[in-house]
Amino acid sequence: MKLKIRLLANPLWRLAAQVSTIGLLALLTACTSYGPTGLKVDRSYQAKSQNSRVEFIVLHYTSTGNHASLQILTEQNVSSHYLITDESRPEIYQLVDESRRAWHAGVSQWFGRTDMNAGSIGIEIVNPGGNGKNWSPYSPAQIKTLIALLHDIIKRHQIKPYNIVGHSDIAPQRKVDPGPRFPWKQLADAGIGRWYDQTAVDGFIQQFQQTSLPDILTIQTDLERLGYATPKNGRLDKPTRNVIAAFQMHYRPSRYDGLPDAETIAILKALK
């Protein structure tokens, strides 16, 4: 699938004009550039030890329509790098350059890292969301477009599978998007994100039929091992149930009540 990305701030005709004007000059001075102050910077040496500042991809739903989403994400105190519309042929808008910070994650944590806006790319998908019981599906065309965009971003920034997350994974006490209708399994089948081995899950389920389920502290420790910010108090309190519900929405969306049933804990154990 060929990616077509609309850059609002830089219409293509303007980019094309700039490129043709400066193209020849750039070729002649490939390793030297001049900043706004006229300072000469030599870029002919590049360090071997470097990598992308982008380590995470965070997926969201907008809970509003195309027009309102575009307006909110460009004019208010919230933004994302990309917005995928829900038209029959979905558009990909790029609203923030990948080298810059978008404001989409808020108070969040993953593998102990806070300030997720600093090291992530945020993708908003137009979808009405849900009310806790009923949720709107994502269209096949949206998911196809998203998968193509994700492949492109993952390759360029070398994003690890376990660092492709939903907003609910990094902020389970506040957020439920992208929601239980988001097709994480379909993404995994396309080679995107972390997933489990079903045989291993079946083995753990069998094991739990003979022994009881692990205690809550062990479950909390396993959730933390997989990246989630989790209480470590050995109690199935509301914050712990919220984390389990976020985990279920991602890996076992048929039931996301936050209760540690055998299948949920088997998936938790099977994930690496």
Q: Which parts of this chain interact with Zn ion (CB under 5 A)? A: 60, 167, 177
SS (H, E, C) 197-221: CHHHHHHHHHHHHHCCCCCHHHHHH
Q: What are phi and psi of 229, to 5 degrees?
A: -80, 110
The residue (of 169 and 177) whose beta carbon lies closer to Zn ion is: 177
Q: What are phi and psi of 22, to 5 degrees?
A: -95, -5
The residue (of 81 and 167) whose beta carbon lies closer to Zn ion is: 167
**Min dist. Cβ of residue 161 to Zn ion (A):** 20
The residue (of 61 and 204) whose beta carbon lies closer to Zn ion is: 61
Query: What CA–CA distance (Å, rounded) separates 141 from 13?
Result: 28
**Min dist. Cβ of residue 194 to Zn ion (A):** 19
The residue (of 64 and 139) whose beta carbon lies closer to Zn ion is: 64
Q: Could you write out the DSSP letters of every residue in the chain?
A: ----EEESSS-HHHHHHHHHHHHHHHHHTTTEEE-TT--EEE-S---SS---S--EEEEEE-SS-HHHHHHHHHHSS---SEEE--SSS--EEE-S-TTS--S---S--BTTB--TTTTEEEEEE----BSSS-BPPPPHHHHHHHHHHHHHHHHHHT--GGGEEEHHHH-TTT--TT-TTS-HHHHHHTT-S----HHHHHHHHHHHHHSPPPPHHHHHHHHHHTT-----SS---HHHHHHHHHHHHHH-TT--SS---HHHHHHHHH--
The residue (of 167 and 250) whose beta carbon lies closer to Zn ion is: 167
Residues present in the chain in total: 272
**Min dist. Cβ of residue 175 to Zn ion (A):** 6
Residue 124 appears among annotated catalytic residues: yes
The residue (of 171 and 270) whose beta carbon lies closer to Zn ion is: 171
Catalytic residue (one of 55, 98, 124, 224): 124
**Min dist. Cβ of residue 177 to Zn ion (A):** 4
Question: Annotated catalytic sites, by residue?
Answer: 124
